[in-house]
Structure 1
Amino acid sequence: MEPVESVEPLETPRPSPTVSALGLDRRIPHLNPVRERARFLEGGDFSSSAVRPPILDSWQRSRFFGVDADRIQAPYNADFDPHSRLATAARPVLDRLSDALQGTPMCLILTDSKGRVRERRTGDRALHRHLDDISLAPGFSYAEEYVGTNGIGTAAEDGRTAQVFGSEHFSERLQRVSCAAAPIRNPVSGRVLGLIDLTSWQHTASPLMVALVQEAAADIEERLLDIGSERERAALRAFLTSRQSSRRALVTLTDGLLLADAAATEMLGPADHRRLRELAADPSGLREQRMLLSDGRTVQLRGRQVEGDEPGGHPAAYLIELRLVAERDESGRHPVVRPPRLAGISGSSPVFRGVISQLIRHCEHGRWTLVEGEAGTGKQALVRAVHRHVAPAAPIGVHDAADARGGAAPWLRAVFQDLAEDRGTVVLRHLDLLSAHVLGQLDGVLRTTAGRSGWVAALLTHDRPRLPGAGAEALPDADRVAASRQADPVAAVRARFGAEVTVPPLRHRTADIPALVACLLARHGGDSGGVRCTDDALRALSRAPWPGNVRQLDGSLRYAQAHRSGPLIEESDLPPSLLSQAQHPLSAWESTERDLIVQSLLDHGGDKAKAAKALGISRATIYRKITAFGIRLGPEKG
C-alpha cells in the first residue's frame, strides 16, 4: 500500500502549445523494416542493420515470451486507484496536454510500472475506436510479454524512453499506429512508478513525440516530489501532535519515511521496521494486537491512518503506538526463561528464540496451536523438534492436506483416529490447500475431538505474515466460528485453535544465517570434507532477500557445493540470482541477462570494463544494468 495525498498543482499553468509548435504535423524519416520483420518471424536470415537495435532487442524478447504476432492477447485488470500518488500527480499534466491535442489524431495514455493502462485521453474518434479494437484501453496490459514490441511495453522493459513506429511493432495488429513512451520515476528512489505514452496513426507520427513524452514525464515527476513533500509534512504534523498526548513509543510511517521518538528508536531494529511496514500494508494489520520484536520482547501496538487533505483519498501516513508487554508464565509469577537448544534446529536470534519459547509452552500445556509462516520457513521441522524436546516418548502423527486430493474421506478418517487416541502430537499440514467443503468437514472432526490432552499443531502457509485481528478472543466459541466462516474458509478451522504462532521469514532473522549455513552444510555431508563459506560468500548470503526462506538457502548451498572448485565456497560459486537485488520481479529474459552479467563480472574479477567488453556492450550499459538489477559483488580486484 502506498500512502498518498492529493494536492492541487502548485505551478503556474503553462500556455497550451499549438500542434504546429509541437511539430506533430511533421513526418518521420523513412524507415521500413517490414521485410526484415517477416524474415525474423520466419526464422530466416535478415539484415540487422535495417532494424534499430532497441527494436531488434524487443523483437527477440517478444519471441522469447511467445507473443502471438497475429493477435492481441492483452490481459485485463480493472483494479486501479484513481487517487493513487501517480494518478494525482499526472492528472493536471494530462489535462493540459489533452487540451493542446484536442482535435488531433493523438492519444495520451498513462500506465502503471507494469504497462497496465490506467488512463486514456483521445482527441480523435476514429483513433479512439481503433485503440478499443486493439485493447489499448484502461485496464488492459501492454507489457511486452503479452503484446510484443510497443512503446509502452518496450519503455517498461528497457527503463528508458522508447519510440516504436508502425512497422516496427511485433504484432501485425499494431502496425497502423506509432507511439512514444517515457518512464515516470520516483524522484527520491528512482524506481519506475508508471509510463506516459503518446500514440498516433502511423502516417501522422513525428519524432518530436519523444520530446513531448519526456517533458510530460519530467512534469509528473516534479509534481510527485511536491506531493511527497506535502505527505511528509502531514506525517510530521501528526507525529508531533500525538507525541504530546501519547505515553507510548511512537512511530509514523510513509512510503519513504519513518519517524520514531526516543523510546521507539531504542525499542525497534531494522527487522522490526520491516515488520511494521508489512502490517501497515495490510488493511487489517493496524488493529490493536501484539508483535514479537527481533530482540525477543513483545509489544502491544495500535495504529491509525493519518488522513490527507483530499476527503476519501488514501492516507498520508500511518501512526503506530507501541507498549512493551512483560512476558510471564501461566501463573504470572515468573518471567519466561530462555528456550533450550532444539536438536536439528539452528538459530539464536531473539525473534526466533521467542517463537521457540512460545511453541514449547503451548506443547507443554497441550494448547492447540496454529503455526503460520511463509513457505520454506521450516514450520514442520520446528514443530517436530519441539515435540521431541517436550515428549520424546510420545507418538507424532503428521497429516498432509495435499493427500486429501486423492480422496478426502480416508484422510479425514485418519485425522480423526489420531486425534481420538488422546495421546501424542498431531500435526496438520497445508490446510490452505483444502477446499471450503473439506475444511467444513475438518472443522466437525476438530470440534468432536476438542477435549483431547495431546498437542495439536496446524501448519498454515501464506505469502506474507499476518496476525490475528483484535477482539475475536472475546467472543464465545460458537460466535467466533460463525463470524470467521463469513471471512474465509480457513477461518472456521482457525477458531478451533487457542494459540497462534508466526514463524518469521529468513529476511527477519538474518543473524541466524551463519549458523544455518553451517548446519545445512553439515547435513549435506560437507563437514567431513571441511566445506565452509568464505566471508564474502557469507556476506552475500546475508544480503539476499530470501523469498524462499530456509528452503531456498538450502537449495543455494547445494548449488554452490556443486559448483565449487575447492574446500571453500566462494562468492562466485553462489547462484547468480543471489548476487542481485532487483527492485521488481524479473522476467525470464531479464533473469537470463542478469545471470550473464553476473557471470562475466565474476570471470573478470569484478572489472566492469572488461566484463562489458566480453559481453559486447558498452561500459555505460553495464553500469546501468548493474544498478537496475541491484547486482552486488565483493570488492573489485586489481
Structure 2
Amino acid sequence: MSSTYQDLRVGRARPEIESSWTRSRLSGLREDGTPALRQGPVAGEGALARAAAPVLERAQAELDGTQFALVLADREARIVDIRCSDKSFRRALATLGVVPGVRLGEDQVGTNAVGTPLETRQGLLVRGAEHFMTAFHTFACYGHPIIHPITRRLEGVVNIGGLTGAEHPLFAPLVRRIVRDIEDRLQLDSTRTQRRLLAAFQAAVRSSRRAVMVMGQGVVLATPSALALLEPADHAAVQACAEDTRADGEVNHRLILADGRTVGLRCTPVDGAEGVLVDIVPERLGRRGTDAVDHATGWPLLVVGEPGSGRTTEARRAAGSDAATLDATDAVWQGERDWAKGMAALLEDDGPPVIIENVQLLTEQVTALTARCVRSARRRTVLTSTPGEHLDGVHAPLAALCNARRDLVPLRRRRHEIPRLAQSMLADAVGPGGAKLSADCLRVLAAQSWPGNLAELRRVVQFLAGRRSVGDIIPSDLPASHRGVPAPASPLRQAEREIIIAAIDAAGGNRLQAARALGVSRSTLYNRMRALHIH
C-alpha cells in the first residue's frame, strides 16, 4: 500500500483535497461508484479550441514517447481535445470513458484534475487515491485553469495525466506554460474580434437615439437608447435571440420586455467576429401581441402541444374561466363506458364551453363516440392533444372535426421568452419585493433544453423560491440538473438541428416519416437526434 494512500486513510489529506471530497459527497457521489460519463457535443470550433490547437500540438511533440496525455476541457468541464502519443495509454483512458465530449465536473465524478481546478480556479495536482472515485486511482494528474486575459472569464482547463507513480515534478510548470501560451493566443484572437465588433457597432450607430447592441464573446456594446429601453432581465432574453442567429443571414424576433412593452429585434451576424448586431425597434401602441387570443375563432378548437407546453392554459384562455373540463386520463379509473356517458351528457346540455383534455389517450371506439358528440354539441368545445401521427390515424376524426387548431411552440424553440416567464413565475411564488433572478441566472436558464417545457420551468422556479425568498438568485442556487450551460454549437450543427426539428414538425411528430423526408434511415435519424440533443 502506497504512503499516499495510507496518509489519506488516516486523515492526512491536503486541505484542498479534503474540501473537494466534501463537495463530492454533497453532490451525492460515492467513492466506489461507477463514473457516469456520457458523451455530449464537442465545441471544437470555438475560440478556446482555436487558441489551444497549435499549443497542444507543440506540447504533444515535446511529450512524444512518454505515457502522458494532455486534456483540454471547456468551462463546463467537457473534454474538447485529448493529445496522447502512446496508444496503450489512450486506450486505457477510452476504456474508462475519458473521450472528447464527456464531462469531468466535480459534481459528476468527484475530485479530479479537470473539475476541481475549474471549481477552485487554481492549479491542482491529484495523485492516485486523492481522486474521489476509486476508478481514477490508477492516474496522477495536474490541472490548471485557463483565464481569459481580457474578460477574466474562466474559459477551461488544461490537464496532464499519467499512471500513478509516474507523475513528474515538471507537471505543474509545463502545464502552466501551456496555459499561458493559450491565454496569449486568446488575447490576440479577442483583440481582432473586438475590433470587428467595435467597427460594426460604430457603422450601425448614426444617431444616439437608435437602440442598437452588439453582442460577442465577452463583449457587449450598447447605445444609451438601448440601455434605457432594457431592464436587467431583458438582457438575457436579447442574448438568447442573438445566440439563435445563424451565420448566414438576418433573423427577426418579437420580444415582450419585463415592463410589458413589445419590441422587434433584428439580429444580424457580424462577419468574422462570432458576434451579432441587434437593432431594437419598439412597436407602436395598439398592436396585438402574439399571446393575444382571438375569441372569435372557429369552434371546435384543437390545441396541440408537447407535455408541459401550456395546453391547459391555452385551452382555458380560449374557453373562458367558467369552462367545464373533462380529462381523458380519468377514463382509466372511471372506465371508458362511464367516462363516455358523462362526456355525452355534458355536451348535450346548454352551458359554458367544455374542455376535453388529452384526447390522444382515447381508444378508437371512444374517439368515434366523442367525435359524434362534439359534432352535435350545444356547447363550444376545446380539445387538447400531444402532437404526433395519431392525429392522422386513430384520432383523425376529432382533428378533422375542429374548425381551428393552435400548435404550441416548445419552450426550447422560444428561448428568448424564458427570462420573462421565469421572472413572472418567481414573482407569483415569492410575492412583491421578494427574490429576483440575476442576469447570469437568467442566461443559464435560457440556455437549457427544457424537454418538460413550461411545467419543468415552473418546477425549477418553485425550487428556487423555496430555497431563497429574498435577494438575488445566482446560478449556484439552481438545481444541479439545470446549472450547466451546454457547449455552443457550430453554425453547421445548429443548421442540422433546425432542419431535423422542422422535418419532425412537418411530419406531425412521426419520426419514420421525417427520416424518409430527409432521405435517411430511422436509425440514422435517431443517432443524429441524440448527438444534437433533440428530444
Matching residue within 26, 47, 50 for 1:85: 47
Q: Which amino acid aligns with 2:435?
A: A
Tell me which residue corresponds to 1:258. 220
2:401 corresponds to 1:437: no
Tell me which residue corresponds to 1:169. 131
CA deviation after TM superposition for structure 1 residue 199, in Å? 1.0
Deviations 1:436-461 (A, max 9, x none): 33254488456522436xxx666555
Tell me which residue corresponds to 2:17. 55
Tell me which residue corresponds to 1:34. 5
Tell me which residue corresponds to 1:274. 236
2:238 corresponds to 1:306: no
Indicate if the aligned counterparts of 1:106 and 1:200 stay in contact, CA closer than 8 A: yes
Q: How do residues 418-457 of structure 1 correspond to structure 2 at under 5 angstroms?
A: 420=375, 421=377, 423-426=379-382, 428=384, 431=386, 434=387, 436-441=388-393, 444-445=396-397, 448-451=400-403
In structure 2, relative to structure 1, the CA distance for the partners of 1:266 and 1:415 (3 Å cut) is farther
2:274 corresponds to 1:316: yes
2:474 corresponds to 1:581: yes
Alpha-carbon distance between aligned partners in 1 of 2:381 and 2:251, rounded to the nearest angstrom: 33
Alpha-carbon distance between aligned partners in 2 of 1:464 and 1:167, rounded to the nearest angstrom: 45
Q: Which moved more, 1:258-267 or 1:363-372?
A: 363-372
Tell me which residue corresponds to 1:239. 201
Q: How do residues 362-441 of structure 1 correspond to structure 2 at under 5 angstroms?
A: 362-366=294-298, 380-381=312-313, 384=316, 387-388=319-320, 395-401=352-358, 404=360, 409=364, 416=371, 420=375, 421=377, 423-426=379-382, 428=384, 431=386, 434=387, 436-441=388-393
In structure 2, relative to structure 1, the CA distance for the partners of 1:133 and 1:355 (3 Å cut) is closer
Q: Which amino acid aligns with 1:288?
A: N
Partner of 1:204: helix, strand, or coil?
Answer: coil
2:37 corresponds to 1:74: yes
Indicate if the aligned counterparts of 2:352 and 2:380 stay in contact, CA closer than 8 A: yes
Alpha-carbon distance between aligned partners in 1 of 2:63 and 2:464, rounded to the nearest angstrom: 54
Deviations 1:416-437 (A, max 9, x none): 46753384351526x3xx5x33
CA deviation after TM superposition for structure 1 residue 219, in Å? 3.4
CA deviation after TM superposition for structure 1 residue 118, in Å? 1.6
2:93 corresponds to 1:131: yes
Tell me which residue corresponds to 2:166. 204
Indicate if the aligned counterparts of 2:303 and 2:315 stay in contact, CA closer than 8 A: no
In structure 2, relative to structure 1, the CA distance for the partners of 1:205 and 1:415 (3 Å cut) is farther
Alpha-carbon distance between aligned partners in 1 of 2:113 and 2:381, rounded to the nearest angstrom: 59
Alpha-carbon distance between aligned partners in 1 of 2:228 and 2:152, rounded to the nearest angstrom: 31
CA deviation after TM superposition for structure 1 residue 414, in Å? 7.8
Alpha-carbon distance between aligned partners in 1 of 2:144 and 2:216, rounded to the nearest angstrom: 27
Alpha-carbon distance between aligned partners in 1 of 2:241 and 2:231, rounded to the nearest angstrom: 16
Using the aligned pairs only, state the percent identity: 25
Indicate if the aligned counterparts of 1:75 and 1:140 stay in contact, CA closer than 8 A: yes
CA deviation after TM superposition for structure 1 residue 387, in Å? 4.1
Alpha-carbon distance between aligned partners in 1 of 2:280 and 2:315, rounded to the nearest angstrom: 30
Gaps of 5+ in 2: 325-349, 446-455, 485-535
CA deviation after TM superposition for structure 1 residue 48, in Å? 0.7
Alpha-carbon distance between aligned partners in 2 of 1:503 and 1:113, rounded to the nearest angstrom: 23
Alpha-carbon distance between aligned partners in 2 of 1:156 and 1:86, rounded to the nearest angstrom: 15
In structure 2, relative to structure 1, the CA distance for the partners of 1:200 and 1:444 (3 Å cut) is same
Alpha-carbon distance between aligned partners in 1 of 2:360 and 2:402, rounded to the nearest angstrom: 22
Tell me which residue corresponds to 1:630. none
CA deviation after TM superposition for structure 1 residue 275, in Å? 2.1
Indicate if the aligned counterparts of 2:434 and 2:471 stay in contact, CA closer than 8 A: no
Q: Which amino acid aligns with 2:188?
A: D
Indicate if the aligned counterparts of 2:435 and 2:469 stay in contact, CA closer than 8 A: no
Q: Which amino acid aligns with 2:172?
A: V
TM-score, normalised to structure 1, is: 0.56
CA deviation after TM superposition for structure 1 residue 234, in Å? 0.9
Partner of 1:181: helix, strand, or coil?
Answer: strand
Q: How do residues 230-629 of structure 1 correspond to structure 2 at under 5 angstroms?
A: 230-243=192-205, 250-261=212-223, 264-265=226-227, 267-283=229-245, 287-308=251-272, 316-326=274-284, 335=286, 358-359=292-293, 362-366=294-298, 380-381=312-313, 384=316, 387-388=319-320, 395-401=352-358, 404=360, 409=364, 416=371, 420=375, 421=377, 423-426=379-382, 428=384, 431=386, 434=387, 436-441=388-393, 444-445=396-397, 448-451=400-403, 461-463=410-412, 465=414, 505-507=420-422, 513=427, 517=430, 538-541=433-436, 575=468, 580-582=473-475, 587=480
Indicate if the aligned counterparts of 1:363 and 1:390 stay in contact, CA closer than 8 A: no
Indicate if the aligned counterparts of 1:374 and 1:505 stay in contact, CA closer than 8 A: no
| CA RMSD of superposed structures (Å) | 4.6
Alpha-carbon distance between aligned partners in 1 of 2:395 and 2:217, rounded to the nearest angstrom: 40
CA deviation after TM superposition for structure 1 residue 184, in Å? 1.9
Partner of 1:130: helix, strand, or coil?
Answer: helix
Number of equivalences: 439
Alpha-carbon distance between aligned partners in 2 of 1:443 and 1:36, rounded to the nearest angstrom: 68
Alpha-carbon distance between aligned partners in 2 of 1:111 and 1:287, rounded to the nearest angstrom: 32
Indicate if the aligned counterparts of 1:58 and 1:149 stay in contact, CA closer than 8 A: yes
Partner of 1:196: helix, strand, or coil?
Answer: strand
CA deviation after TM superposition for structure 1 residue 301, in Å? 3.8
Partner of 1:363: helix, strand, or coil?
Answer: coil
Alpha-carbon distance between aligned partners in 2 of 1:146 and 1:543, rounded to the nearest angstrom: 25
CA deviation after TM superposition for structure 1 residue 183, in Å? 1.9
Indicate if the aligned counterparts of 2:237 and 2:418 stay in contact, CA closer than 8 A: no
Partner of 1:151: helix, strand, or coil?
Answer: coil
CA deviation after TM superposition for structure 1 residue 323, in Å? 4.1
Deviations 1:334-371 (A, max 9, x none): x469xxxxxxxxxxxxxxxx566x22xx1244596979
Alpha-carbon distance between aligned partners in 2 of 1:185 and 1:168, rounded to the nearest angstrom: 25
In structure 2, relative to structure 1, the CA distance for the partners of 1:129 and 1:373 (3 Å cut) is closer
Q: Which amino acid aligns with 2:421?
A: L
Indicate if the aligned counterparts of 1:76 and 1:139 stay in contact, CA closer than 8 A: yes
CA deviation after TM superposition for structure 1 residue 554, in Å? 6.1
Alpha-carbon distance between aligned partners in 1 of 2:35 and 2:463, rounded to the nearest angstrom: 39
In structure 2, relative to structure 1, the CA distance for the partners of 1:57 and 1:323 (3 Å cut) is closer
Q: Which amino acid aligns with 1:76?
A: Q
CA deviation after TM superposition for structure 1 residue 141, in Å? 3.3
Indicate if the aligned counterparts of 1:428 and 1:459 stay in contact, CA closer than 8 A: no
Deviations 1:498-557 (A, max 9, x none): xxxx797434559x93x7755xxxxxxxxxxxxxx7xxxx25346595866666666776
Indicate if the aligned counterparts of 1:160 and 1:182 stay in contact, CA closer than 8 A: yes
Alpha-carbon distance between aligned partners in 2 of 1:552 and 1:65, rounded to the nearest angstrom: 19
Q: How do residues 101-140 of structure 1 correspond to structure 2 at under 5 angstroms?
A: 101-140=63-102
Alpha-carbon distance between aligned partners in 2 of 1:66 and 1:263, rounded to the nearest angstrom: 49
Q: Which amino acid aligns with 1:238?
A: A
Alpha-carbon distance between aligned partners in 2 of 1:186 and 1:442, rounded to the nearest angstrom: 57
CA deviation after TM superposition for structure 1 residue 177, in Å? 2.8
In structure 2, relative to structure 1, the CA distance for the partners of 1:390 and 1:442 (3 Å cut) is farther
Structure of larger gyration radius: 1
Alpha-carbon distance between aligned partners in 2 of 1:321 and 1:186, rounded to the nearest angstrom: 28
In structure 2, relative to structure 1, the CA distance for the partners of 1:181 and 1:283 (3 Å cut) is same
In structure 2, relative to structure 1, the CA distance for the partners of 1:578 and 1:268 (3 Å cut) is closer
Q: Which amino acid aligns with 1:204?
A: A
CA deviation after TM superposition for structure 1 residue 173, in Å? 4.6
Partner of 2:65: helix, strand, or coil?
Answer: coil
Alpha-carbon distance between aligned partners in 2 of 1:541 and 1:144, rounded to the nearest angstrom: 28
Alpha-carbon distance between aligned partners in 1 of 2:356 and 2:73, rounded to the nearest angstrom: 46
Alpha-carbon distance between aligned partners in 1 of 2:422 and 2:79, rounded to the nearest angstrom: 33
TM-score, normalised to structure 2, is: 0.65
Indicate if the aligned counterparts of 1:394 and 1:425 stay in contact, CA closer than 8 A: no
Q: Which moved more, 1:390-399 or 1:152-161?
A: 390-399
Indicate if the aligned counterparts of 2:79 and 2:102 stay in contact, CA closer than 8 A: yes
Deviations 1:376-395 (A, max 9, x none): 9x774576366437999963
Indicate if the aligned counterparts of 1:111 and 1:118 stay in contact, CA closer than 8 A: yes
Alpha-carbon distance between aligned partners in 2 of 1:302 and 1:169, rounded to the nearest angstrom: 49
